[in-house]
Structure 1
Amino acid sequence: MPLETFLVVVYGHVCGALQAVIPGGNPRRRGFPPKLSDAEALTMAFIGTVLGYRSDKAVWESFRRHGATGFPHLGDRSTFVRQLANLGHVKAFLHRHWARRLGAFEAKGHLVDGFPIPMCHPKRVNRHTLSGRSGWGGFCAAKEADYFGFHGLVLTTVDGVIAGVALTAAHVDERDALLERIRGALLGDKGFICPLLTEECSEMDIELHTP
Protein backbone atom coordinates (compact mmCIF):
# COMPACT_ATOMS: atom_id res chain seq x y z
CA MET A 1 0.00 0.00 0.00
CA PRO A 2 1.45 3.42 -0.94
CA LEU A 3 2.27 5.66 2.01
CA GLU A 4 -0.22 8.32 0.90
CA THR A 5 -3.04 5.75 0.87
CA PHE A 6 -1.92 4.37 4.23
CA LEU A 7 -2.04 7.89 5.70
CA VAL A 8 -5.63 8.35 4.55
CA VAL A 9 -6.69 4.96 5.94
CA VAL A 10 -5.08 5.58 9.34
CA TYR A 11 -6.50 9.10 9.51
CA GLY A 12 -9.98 7.73 8.86
CA HIS A 13 -9.59 5.16 11.65
CA VAL A 14 -8.31 7.83 14.06
CA CYS A 15 -11.23 10.16 13.34
CA GLY A 16 -13.72 7.34 13.77
CA ALA A 17 -12.13 6.18 17.04
CA LEU A 18 -12.08 9.72 18.43
CA GLN A 19 -15.80 9.99 17.77
CA ALA A 20 -16.30 6.72 19.64
CA VAL A 21 -14.24 7.49 22.76
CA ILE A 22 -14.73 11.26 23.11
CA PRO A 23 -18.08 13.06 22.80
CA GLY A 24 -17.94 15.07 19.60
CA GLY A 25 -14.54 13.60 18.74
CA ASN A 26 -12.73 16.70 20.05
CA PRO A 27 -10.26 16.11 22.93
CA ARG A 28 -10.13 19.86 23.67
CA ARG A 29 -12.73 21.46 25.93
CA ARG A 30 -11.41 24.99 25.73
CA GLY A 31 -8.88 27.15 23.94
CA PHE A 32 -8.24 27.78 20.29
CA PRO A 33 -7.99 24.71 18.02
CA PRO A 34 -4.44 24.11 16.74
CA LYS A 35 -3.67 24.54 13.05
CA LEU A 36 -2.54 20.91 12.94
CA SER A 37 -5.60 19.05 14.23
CA ASP A 38 -5.27 16.52 17.02
CA ALA A 39 -6.44 13.77 14.65
CA GLU A 40 -3.66 14.72 12.22
CA ALA A 41 -1.03 14.80 14.98
CA LEU A 42 -2.12 11.37 16.25
CA THR A 43 -2.09 9.99 12.72
CA MET A 44 1.47 11.20 12.24
CA ALA A 45 2.51 9.63 15.54
CA PHE A 46 0.98 6.25 14.67
CA ILE A 47 2.43 6.28 11.14
CA GLY A 48 5.84 7.22 12.57
CA THR A 49 5.71 4.24 14.92
CA VAL A 50 4.96 1.91 12.01
CA LEU A 51 7.89 3.41 10.10
CA GLY A 52 10.20 2.72 13.04
CA TYR A 53 10.68 6.19 14.51
CA ARG A 54 11.14 6.09 18.28
CA SER A 55 10.45 9.69 19.26
CA ASP A 56 8.00 12.46 18.39
CA LYS A 57 10.96 14.57 17.31
CA ALA A 58 12.01 11.92 14.79
CA VAL A 59 8.44 11.71 13.47
CA TRP A 60 8.30 15.48 12.97
CA GLU A 61 11.69 15.52 11.24
CA SER A 62 10.61 12.75 8.86
CA PHE A 63 7.40 14.47 7.78
CA ARG A 64 9.13 17.85 7.53
CA ARG A 65 11.91 16.32 5.45
CA HIS A 66 9.40 14.85 3.00
CA GLY A 67 7.45 18.05 2.60
CA ALA A 68 4.85 17.37 5.29
CA THR A 69 2.95 15.15 2.86
CA GLY A 70 -0.76 15.39 3.62
CA PHE A 71 -0.22 17.77 6.56
CA PRO A 72 0.19 21.32 5.25
CA HIS A 73 -0.34 22.85 8.71
CA LEU A 74 2.60 21.09 10.34
CA GLY A 75 4.26 23.71 12.53
CA ASP A 76 7.56 23.76 14.38
CA ARG A 77 8.99 20.78 16.21
CA SER A 78 8.44 21.96 19.79
CA THR A 79 4.75 22.69 19.14
CA PHE A 80 4.25 19.24 17.61
CA VAL A 81 6.01 17.47 20.49
CA ARG A 82 3.98 19.39 23.11
CA GLN A 83 0.74 18.66 21.27
CA LEU A 84 1.40 14.91 21.31
CA ALA A 85 2.47 15.04 24.96
CA ASN A 86 -0.88 16.62 25.82
CA LEU A 87 -2.64 13.84 23.91
CA GLY A 88 -1.07 11.02 25.93
CA HIS A 89 -4.32 10.17 27.71
CA VAL A 90 -6.18 10.20 24.39
CA LYS A 91 -3.73 7.62 23.01
CA ALA A 92 -4.60 5.39 25.97
CA PHE A 93 -8.34 5.74 25.20
CA LEU A 94 -7.75 4.93 21.54
CA HIS A 95 -5.65 1.89 22.38
CA ARG A 96 -8.33 0.49 24.66
CA HIS A 97 -10.97 1.14 21.99
CA TRP A 98 -9.02 -0.67 19.26
CA ALA A 99 -7.97 -3.50 21.59
CA ARG A 100 -11.63 -4.08 22.43
CA ARG A 101 -12.59 -3.98 18.73
CA LEU A 102 -9.92 -6.62 18.05
CA GLY A 103 -11.21 -8.85 20.84
CA ALA A 104 -8.11 -8.48 23.01
CA PHE A 105 -10.02 -8.76 26.29
CA GLU A 106 -12.22 -11.67 25.20
CA ALA A 107 -9.37 -13.78 23.76
CA LYS A 108 -8.99 -17.28 25.20
CA GLY A 109 -5.24 -16.91 25.76
CA HIS A 110 -2.84 -14.14 26.80
CA LEU A 111 0.89 -13.69 27.32
CA VAL A 112 2.38 -11.43 29.98
CA ASP A 113 5.98 -10.37 30.59
CA GLY A 114 7.90 -7.66 32.39
CA PHE A 115 11.16 -5.88 31.62
CA PRO A 116 13.50 -3.50 33.48
CA ILE A 117 13.86 0.17 32.49
CA PRO A 118 17.09 1.33 34.20
CA MET A 119 17.53 5.04 34.89
CA CYS A 120 21.18 4.97 35.88
CA HIS A 121 23.98 2.64 36.98
CA PRO A 122 23.56 1.41 40.59
CA LYS A 123 26.89 3.04 41.53
CA ARG A 124 25.45 6.47 40.68
CA VAL A 125 22.19 6.05 42.59
CA ASN A 126 23.23 8.39 45.42
CA ARG A 127 23.81 11.20 42.92
CA HIS A 128 20.64 10.63 40.90
CA THR A 129 17.70 13.02 41.22
CA LEU A 130 15.37 10.15 42.08
CA SER A 131 17.62 8.75 44.81
CA GLY A 132 15.66 10.58 47.50
CA ARG A 133 12.57 8.52 46.70
CA SER A 134 12.53 5.19 48.46
CA GLY A 135 11.91 1.98 46.57
CA TRP A 136 13.22 2.82 43.10
CA GLY A 137 15.66 -0.10 43.21
CA GLY A 138 14.75 -3.47 41.71
CA PHE A 139 16.21 -6.79 40.63
CA CYS A 140 16.17 -8.22 37.12
CA ALA A 141 16.03 -12.01 37.37
CA ALA A 142 16.80 -12.52 33.67
CA LYS A 143 20.11 -10.62 33.94
CA GLU A 144 20.65 -11.45 37.61
CA ALA A 145 21.44 -7.82 38.36
CA ASP A 146 20.16 -4.98 40.52
CA TYR A 147 19.00 -1.85 38.75
CA PHE A 148 17.53 1.55 39.56
CA GLY A 149 14.51 2.91 37.72
CA PHE A 150 11.21 1.53 36.47
CA HIS A 151 9.57 -1.72 35.53
CA GLY A 152 7.47 -2.24 32.42
CA LEU A 153 4.76 -4.83 31.86
CA VAL A 154 3.11 -5.86 28.59
CA LEU A 155 0.01 -8.03 28.21
CA THR A 156 -0.84 -9.41 24.76
CA THR A 157 -3.11 -11.97 23.20
CA VAL A 158 -1.52 -15.09 21.73
CA ASP A 159 -2.09 -13.48 18.33
CA GLY A 160 0.02 -10.47 19.30
CA VAL A 161 -2.65 -7.85 20.02
CA ILE A 162 -1.51 -5.65 22.92
CA ALA A 163 -4.18 -5.78 25.62
CA GLY A 164 -2.42 -3.63 28.20
CA VAL A 165 0.80 -1.84 29.15
CA ALA A 166 1.86 -0.81 32.65
CA LEU A 167 4.77 1.17 34.08
CA THR A 168 5.71 0.98 37.75
CA ALA A 169 8.62 1.81 40.02
CA ALA A 170 11.26 -0.92 39.95
CA HIS A 171 10.48 -2.19 43.44
CA VAL A 172 6.81 -2.89 42.61
CA ASP A 173 6.22 -6.57 41.96
CA GLU A 174 5.18 -7.02 38.31
CA ARG A 175 2.38 -9.27 39.52
CA ASP A 176 0.82 -6.29 41.33
CA ALA A 177 0.41 -4.42 38.02
CA LEU A 178 -1.38 -7.37 36.40
CA LEU A 179 -4.64 -7.91 34.69
CA GLU A 180 -7.72 -5.90 34.14
CA ARG A 181 -10.49 -7.57 32.18
CA ILE A 182 -9.10 -10.76 30.72
CA ARG A 183 -10.27 -14.32 31.14
CA GLY A 184 -8.96 -17.72 30.09
CA ALA A 185 -5.37 -18.94 29.92
CA LEU A 186 -2.48 -16.67 30.89
CA LEU A 187 1.14 -17.57 30.16
CA GLY A 188 3.87 -15.92 32.26
CA ASP A 189 7.52 -16.48 33.11
CA LYS A 190 8.96 -17.66 36.42
CA GLY A 191 8.42 -14.20 37.91
CA PHE A 192 4.73 -15.05 38.11
CA ILE A 193 5.19 -18.24 40.13
CA CYS A 194 3.20 -17.60 43.29
CA PRO A 195 0.48 -19.77 44.89
CA LEU A 196 -1.40 -16.68 46.08
CA LEU A 197 -1.37 -15.15 42.60
CA THR A 198 -2.56 -18.43 41.09
CA GLU A 199 -5.44 -18.49 43.54
CA GLU A 200 -6.37 -14.85 42.82
CA CYS A 201 -6.28 -15.50 39.07
CA SER A 202 -8.50 -18.53 39.53
CA GLU A 203 -11.09 -16.35 41.28
CA MET A 204 -11.08 -14.09 38.19
CA ASP A 205 -11.53 -17.07 35.83
CA ILE A 206 -7.89 -16.82 34.72
CA GLU A 207 -5.85 -20.01 34.40
CA LEU A 208 -2.23 -19.01 35.07
CA HIS A 209 0.52 -21.12 33.50
CA THR A 210 4.20 -20.67 34.43
CA PRO A 211 7.41 -22.65 33.69
Structure 2
Amino acid sequence: MTTSLDALLAALYVFIDDHVAPCRRIGRPPKLSDAELLCLAVAQVLLGFPSARHWIRFAHARLGHLFRYLPQQSAYNKRLNAAGPLISQVIAALARQVPTWHDNLRLIDSTPLPCAASRESTKHSELAGHAGYGYCRSHSRFFWGFRLYLLTTAEGMPISWCLANPKLGERQMIVALLERAHHLIRTGQVILADKGFTGRRFETFLAEHLGVHLVRPDRKDEPVRHGRLAHVRQWIEAVFDTLKGQLSLEQHGARTPAGVFARVGQRLLALASAIWHNWTTDAKIKRSLIAYDH
Protein backbone atom coordinates (compact mmCIF):
# COMPACT_ATOMS: atom_id res chain seq x y z
CA MET A 1 0.00 0.00 0.00
CA THR A 2 1.14 3.55 -0.67
CA THR A 3 1.19 6.31 1.92
CA SER A 4 -0.70 9.26 0.44
CA LEU A 5 -3.95 11.09 1.02
CA ASP A 6 -5.69 9.28 -1.85
CA ALA A 7 -4.65 5.91 -0.45
CA LEU A 8 -5.75 6.88 3.06
CA LEU A 9 -9.19 8.03 1.91
CA ALA A 10 -9.72 4.92 -0.22
CA ALA A 11 -8.75 2.61 2.65
CA LEU A 12 -10.88 4.56 5.12
CA TYR A 13 -13.91 4.45 2.82
CA VAL A 14 -13.65 0.67 2.46
CA PHE A 15 -13.20 0.21 6.22
CA ILE A 16 -16.23 2.35 7.14
CA ASP A 17 -18.38 0.78 4.43
CA ASP A 18 -17.46 -2.75 5.57
CA HIS A 19 -17.26 -2.43 9.37
CA VAL A 20 -19.49 0.44 10.51
CA ALA A 21 -23.26 0.41 10.27
CA PRO A 22 -24.66 3.45 8.38
CA CYS A 23 -27.12 5.86 10.01
CA ARG A 24 -30.75 4.85 9.60
CA ARG A 25 -32.82 7.28 7.56
CA ILE A 26 -36.34 7.55 6.22
CA GLY A 27 -36.72 8.15 2.51
CA ARG A 28 -34.25 8.04 -0.33
CA PRO A 29 -30.57 7.41 0.48
CA PRO A 30 -28.40 10.54 0.29
CA LYS A 31 -26.25 11.16 -2.77
CA LEU A 32 -23.21 11.37 -0.48
CA SER A 33 -22.99 8.21 1.66
CA ASP A 34 -21.93 8.28 5.31
CA ALA A 35 -18.56 6.74 4.42
CA GLU A 36 -17.97 9.38 1.74
CA LEU A 37 -19.02 12.15 4.12
CA LEU A 38 -16.49 11.11 6.76
CA CYS A 39 -13.73 10.73 4.16
CA LEU A 40 -14.52 14.25 2.94
CA ALA A 41 -14.40 15.52 6.55
CA VAL A 42 -11.06 13.82 7.19
CA ALA A 43 -9.57 15.28 4.02
CA GLN A 44 -10.71 18.76 5.08
CA VAL A 45 -8.67 18.84 8.28
CA LEU A 46 -5.68 16.93 6.90
CA LEU A 47 -5.36 19.48 4.09
CA GLY A 48 -5.71 22.39 6.51
CA PHE A 49 -9.10 23.95 5.67
CA PRO A 50 -10.81 25.06 8.91
CA SER A 51 -13.38 27.02 6.89
CA ALA A 52 -16.13 24.87 5.36
CA ARG A 53 -16.74 27.53 2.71
CA HIS A 54 -13.15 27.44 1.48
CA TRP A 55 -13.06 23.67 1.75
CA ILE A 56 -16.13 22.99 -0.37
CA ARG A 57 -14.86 25.38 -3.03
CA PHE A 58 -11.51 23.58 -3.06
CA ALA A 59 -13.16 20.14 -3.09
CA HIS A 60 -15.29 20.98 -6.12
CA ALA A 61 -12.20 22.19 -7.96
CA ARG A 62 -9.67 19.51 -6.95
CA LEU A 63 -11.32 16.39 -5.49
CA GLY A 64 -13.90 15.47 -8.09
CA HIS A 65 -11.88 12.35 -8.96
CA LEU A 66 -12.37 10.95 -5.45
CA PHE A 67 -16.08 11.63 -4.84
CA ARG A 68 -18.97 10.88 -7.19
CA TYR A 69 -20.98 13.72 -5.61
CA LEU A 70 -19.92 16.79 -3.63
CA PRO A 71 -22.53 18.78 -1.66
CA GLN A 72 -22.79 22.53 -1.28
CA GLN A 73 -21.63 24.20 1.93
CA SER A 74 -24.99 24.28 3.73
CA ALA A 75 -25.73 20.60 3.05
CA TYR A 76 -22.19 19.61 4.06
CA ASN A 77 -22.42 21.52 7.36
CA LYS A 78 -25.83 20.02 8.14
CA ARG A 79 -24.69 16.45 7.48
CA LEU A 80 -21.41 16.86 9.36
CA ASN A 81 -22.99 18.50 12.41
CA ALA A 82 -25.35 15.53 12.71
CA ALA A 83 -22.59 12.94 12.30
CA GLY A 84 -21.09 13.16 15.81
CA PRO A 85 -22.30 9.71 17.01
CA LEU A 86 -21.18 8.06 13.78
CA ILE A 87 -17.74 9.68 14.07
CA SER A 88 -17.35 8.32 17.60
CA GLN A 89 -18.33 4.86 16.36
CA VAL A 90 -15.74 4.93 13.59
CA ILE A 91 -12.97 6.16 15.94
CA ALA A 92 -13.65 3.27 18.34
CA ALA A 93 -13.66 0.79 15.44
CA LEU A 94 -10.32 2.10 14.12
CA ALA A 95 -8.76 1.96 17.58
CA ARG A 96 -9.48 -1.78 17.78
CA GLN A 97 -7.45 -2.36 14.60
CA VAL A 98 -4.06 -1.09 15.83
CA PRO A 99 -1.63 -3.33 17.77
CA THR A 100 -1.45 -0.96 20.75
CA TRP A 101 -5.14 -1.62 21.42
CA HIS A 102 -3.95 -4.74 23.26
CA ASP A 103 -1.37 -2.85 25.39
CA ASN A 104 -2.02 -2.22 29.07
CA LEU A 105 -1.01 1.46 28.95
CA ARG A 106 -3.50 4.25 28.29
CA LEU A 107 -2.98 8.02 28.37
CA ILE A 108 -5.57 10.50 29.59
CA ASP A 109 -5.60 14.27 29.92
CA SER A 110 -7.63 17.37 29.12
CA THR A 111 -7.03 20.55 27.16
CA PRO A 112 -8.97 23.82 26.76
CA LEU A 113 -11.25 24.19 23.75
CA PRO A 114 -12.07 27.89 23.24
CA CYS A 115 -15.36 28.63 21.47
CA ALA A 116 -15.65 32.44 21.63
CA ALA A 117 -13.44 35.44 22.34
CA SER A 118 -15.79 38.40 22.90
CA ARG A 119 -18.22 38.91 25.76
CA GLU A 120 -21.09 39.56 23.34
CA SER A 121 -20.45 36.20 21.65
CA THR A 122 -20.66 34.37 24.97
CA LYS A 123 -24.02 36.00 25.70
CA HIS A 124 -25.73 35.31 22.38
CA SER A 125 -24.07 32.04 21.35
CA GLU A 126 -26.18 28.86 21.22
CA LEU A 127 -23.44 27.35 23.39
CA ALA A 128 -24.50 29.52 26.34
CA GLY A 129 -25.57 27.21 29.14
CA HIS A 130 -23.26 24.46 27.89
CA ALA A 131 -19.87 26.18 27.65
CA GLY A 132 -18.29 28.22 30.45
CA TYR A 133 -15.22 30.10 31.60
CA GLY A 134 -12.09 28.18 32.52
CA TYR A 135 -8.41 28.81 33.11
CA CYS A 136 -5.61 27.53 30.87
CA ARG A 137 -2.55 26.97 33.06
CA SER A 138 -0.15 26.42 30.17
CA HIS A 139 -0.95 29.86 28.67
CA SER A 140 -1.89 31.60 31.96
CA ARG A 141 -5.16 32.94 30.60
CA PHE A 142 -8.92 32.47 30.87
CA PHE A 143 -11.02 31.10 28.02
CA TRP A 144 -14.70 30.53 27.26
CA GLY A 145 -15.66 27.16 25.87
CA PHE A 146 -15.17 23.54 26.89
CA ARG A 147 -12.48 21.19 28.09
CA LEU A 148 -11.67 18.21 25.88
CA TYR A 149 -10.97 15.01 27.83
CA LEU A 150 -9.15 12.42 25.75
CA LEU A 151 -8.22 8.76 26.35
CA THR A 152 -5.59 7.38 23.93
CA THR A 153 -3.12 4.57 23.37
CA ALA A 154 0.60 5.20 23.82
CA GLU A 155 1.10 6.50 20.25
CA GLY A 156 -1.96 8.76 20.44
CA MET A 157 -4.75 6.69 18.90
CA PRO A 158 -8.01 8.14 20.33
CA ILE A 159 -10.12 5.59 22.19
CA SER A 160 -12.74 7.72 23.93
CA TRP A 161 -13.35 11.40 24.54
CA CYS A 162 -15.85 13.91 25.85
CA LEU A 163 -16.43 17.65 26.16
CA ALA A 164 -17.30 19.28 29.48
CA ASN A 165 -17.86 22.68 31.02
CA PRO A 166 -14.48 23.88 32.39
CA LYS A 167 -16.08 24.56 35.78
CA LEU A 168 -16.66 20.83 36.32
CA GLY A 169 -13.98 18.99 38.30
CA GLU A 170 -11.38 17.12 36.28
CA ARG A 171 -11.51 14.01 38.47
CA GLN A 172 -15.31 13.98 38.20
CA MET A 173 -15.09 14.05 34.41
CA ILE A 174 -12.39 11.36 34.25
CA VAL A 175 -14.60 9.04 36.30
CA ALA A 176 -17.56 9.77 34.02
CA LEU A 177 -15.49 9.23 30.86
CA LEU A 178 -14.01 5.93 32.04
CA GLU A 179 -17.37 4.65 33.26
CA ARG A 180 -18.96 5.45 29.91
CA ALA A 181 -16.03 3.81 28.07
CA HIS A 182 -15.82 0.79 30.37
CA HIS A 183 -16.28 -1.54 27.37
CA LEU A 184 -13.18 0.02 25.78
CA ILE A 185 -10.86 -0.58 28.75
CA ARG A 186 -9.77 -3.80 30.43
CA THR A 187 -9.27 -4.71 34.06
CA GLY A 188 -5.65 -4.21 35.06
CA GLN A 189 -4.83 -1.50 32.54
CA VAL A 190 -2.68 1.43 33.62
CA ILE A 191 -4.02 4.96 33.06
CA LEU A 192 -1.23 7.55 32.89
CA ALA A 193 -2.48 11.00 33.91
CA ASP A 194 -1.24 14.39 35.08
CA LYS A 195 -0.51 15.31 38.69
CA GLY A 196 -3.70 17.38 38.68
CA PHE A 197 -5.65 14.15 39.11
CA THR A 198 -4.39 13.73 42.66
CA GLY A 199 -6.64 12.10 45.26
CA ARG A 200 -6.41 8.89 47.24
CA ARG A 201 -10.18 8.32 47.20
CA PHE A 202 -10.20 9.01 43.46
CA GLU A 203 -7.45 6.46 42.79
CA THR A 204 -9.11 3.89 45.05
CA PHE A 205 -12.40 4.33 43.22
CA LEU A 206 -10.75 3.72 39.83
CA ALA A 207 -8.97 0.62 41.12
CA GLU A 208 -11.91 -0.95 42.97
CA HIS A 209 -14.85 -0.01 40.74
CA LEU A 210 -13.28 0.17 37.29
CA GLY A 211 -10.32 -2.17 37.76
CA VAL A 212 -7.73 0.28 36.37
CA HIS A 213 -4.61 1.66 38.01
CA LEU A 214 -3.92 5.40 37.89
CA VAL A 215 -0.27 6.41 37.53
CA ARG A 216 0.68 10.09 37.73
CA PRO A 217 3.76 12.22 38.47
CA ASP A 218 4.54 12.71 42.15
CA ARG A 219 3.73 16.01 43.79
CA LYS A 220 6.35 17.82 45.83
CA ASP A 221 4.37 17.42 49.05
CA GLU A 222 4.02 13.62 48.97
CA PRO A 223 6.34 10.59 49.23
CA VAL A 224 8.09 9.32 46.11
CA ARG A 225 6.00 6.74 44.24
CA HIS A 226 6.32 7.04 40.46
CA GLY A 227 8.77 9.92 39.99
CA ARG A 228 8.31 12.83 37.61
CA LEU A 229 7.39 10.73 34.52
CA ALA A 230 8.36 13.74 32.40
CA HIS A 231 9.24 11.72 29.30
CA VAL A 232 6.04 9.69 29.03
CA ARG A 233 3.87 12.64 30.07
CA GLN A 234 5.06 14.39 26.91
CA TRP A 235 3.29 11.75 24.80
CA ILE A 236 -0.20 13.05 25.53
CA GLU A 237 1.02 16.65 25.26
CA ALA A 238 2.36 15.82 21.80
CA VAL A 239 -1.05 14.45 20.82
CA PHE A 240 -2.73 17.73 21.81
CA ASP A 241 -0.02 19.63 19.95
CA THR A 242 -0.82 17.65 16.79
CA LEU A 243 -4.54 18.31 17.19
CA LYS A 244 -4.02 22.04 17.66
CA GLY A 245 -1.05 22.70 15.40
CA GLN A 246 -1.79 20.44 12.42
CA LEU A 247 -5.50 19.64 12.69
CA SER A 248 -6.82 23.11 13.65
CA LEU A 249 -8.61 21.96 16.80
CA GLU A 250 -9.05 25.49 18.14
CA GLN A 251 -10.31 26.77 14.76
CA HIS A 252 -13.30 24.42 14.65
CA GLY A 253 -15.74 27.28 13.97
CA ALA A 254 -18.77 25.47 15.44
CA ARG A 255 -21.57 27.49 17.03
CA THR A 256 -23.91 24.79 18.41
CA PRO A 257 -23.34 21.94 20.91
CA ALA A 258 -23.85 19.30 18.22
CA GLY A 259 -21.57 21.22 15.88
CA VAL A 260 -18.76 21.47 18.43
CA PHE A 261 -19.03 17.76 19.23
CA ALA A 262 -18.92 16.81 15.53
CA ARG A 263 -16.10 19.22 14.64
CA VAL A 264 -13.91 18.01 17.48
CA GLY A 265 -14.73 14.45 16.49
CA GLN A 266 -13.75 15.33 12.92
CA ARG A 267 -10.24 16.25 14.10
CA LEU A 268 -9.95 13.13 16.24
CA LEU A 269 -11.13 10.97 13.34
CA ALA A 270 -8.48 12.47 11.08
CA LEU A 271 -5.81 11.67 13.68
CA ALA A 272 -7.17 8.14 14.22
CA SER A 273 -7.33 7.49 10.46
CA ALA A 274 -3.74 8.59 9.94
CA ILE A 275 -2.43 6.45 12.82
CA TRP A 276 -4.44 3.44 11.64
CA HIS A 277 -3.17 3.84 8.05
CA ASN A 278 0.41 4.34 9.25
CA TRP A 279 0.20 1.02 11.11
CA THR A 280 -1.25 -0.59 7.97
CA THR A 281 1.56 0.72 5.77
CA ASP A 282 4.24 0.09 8.44
CA ALA A 283 5.24 3.76 8.62
CA LYS A 284 8.05 4.50 11.05
CA ILE A 285 6.26 7.29 12.97
CA LYS A 286 2.66 6.30 13.64
CA ARG A 287 1.33 9.79 14.43
CA SER A 288 2.98 11.48 11.45
CA LEU A 289 0.64 13.41 9.13
CA ILE A 290 3.27 14.58 6.64
CA ALA A 291 2.23 12.13 3.92
CA TYR A 292 -1.39 13.33 4.03
CA ASP A 293 -1.27 17.13 4.33
CA HIS A 294 -0.71 17.96 0.66
Q: Same fold (TM over 0.5)?
A: yes
The answer to whether 1:161 aligns with 2:157 is yes
Runs of 4+ in 1 over 6 A off after TM superposition: none
| Worse overlay, 137-146 or 5-14 | 137-146
d(CA) in 1 for partners of 2:115 and 2:169? 18
Structure 1 position 10, deviation (Å)? 2.0
2:239 is aligned to none
1:193 is aligned to 198
| Worse overlay, 168-177 or 93-102 | 93-102
Structure 1 position 55, deviation (Å)? 5.0
d(CA) in 2 for partners of 1:135 and 1:46? 25
d(CA) in 2 for partners of 1:165 and 1:126? 26
Quickly say closer, same or farther: Cα 1:108–1:135, change in 2 above 3 A.
Answer: same
- Larger fraction in strand: 1
Aligned runs of 1:122-201 on 2, under 5 Å?
A: 124=119, 128-129=123-124, 133=129, 136-178=132-174, 179=178, 180-181=181-182, 182-183=185-186, 184-201=189-206
Quickly say closer, same or farther: Cα 1:135–1:109, change in 2 above 3 A.
Answer: same
Which of the residues 13, 16, 23 maps onto 2:15?
13
Structure 1 position 156, deviation (Å)? 0.9
| Worse overlay, 190-199 or 64-73 | 64-73
Q: Percent identity?
A: 26
For residue 117 of structure 1, what is the amino acid of its counterpart?
Answer: L
d(CA) in 1 for partners of 2:151 and 2:128? 31
SS at match of 2:68: coil
TM-score where L is the length of structure 1? 0.80
Quickly say closer, same or farther: Cα 1:113–1:58, change in 2 above 3 A.
Answer: farther
Q: Cα RMSD (Å) of the superposition?
A: 2.9
- Larger fraction in helix: 2
SS at match of 1:101: coil
SS at match of 1:46: helix
Which entry has the higher C-alpha Rg, 1 or 2? 1
Structure 1 position 198, deviation (Å)? 0.9
Quickly say closer, same or farther: Cα 1:76–1:162, change in 2 above 3 A.
Answer: same
For residue 81 of structure 2, what is the amino acid of its counterpart?
Answer: A
1:86 is aligned to 82
Quickly say closer, same or farther: Cα 1:116–1:79, change in 2 above 3 A.
Answer: same
The answer to whether 1:207 aligns with 2:213 is yes
TM-score where L is the length of structure 2? 0.60
List gaps (5 residues or longer) in structure 1. none
Count of residues in correspondence between the two structures: 204
1:76 is aligned to 72
Quickly say closer, same or farther: Cα 1:201–1:77, change in 2 above 3 A.
Answer: same
8 Å CA contact 1:150–1:168 kept in 2: the answer is yes
2:260 is aligned to none
Quickly say closer, same or farther: Cα 1:28–1:111, change in 2 above 3 A.
Answer: same
For residue 193 of structure 1, what is the amino acid of its counterpart?
Answer: T
d(CA) in 1 for partners of 2:10 and 2:45? 16
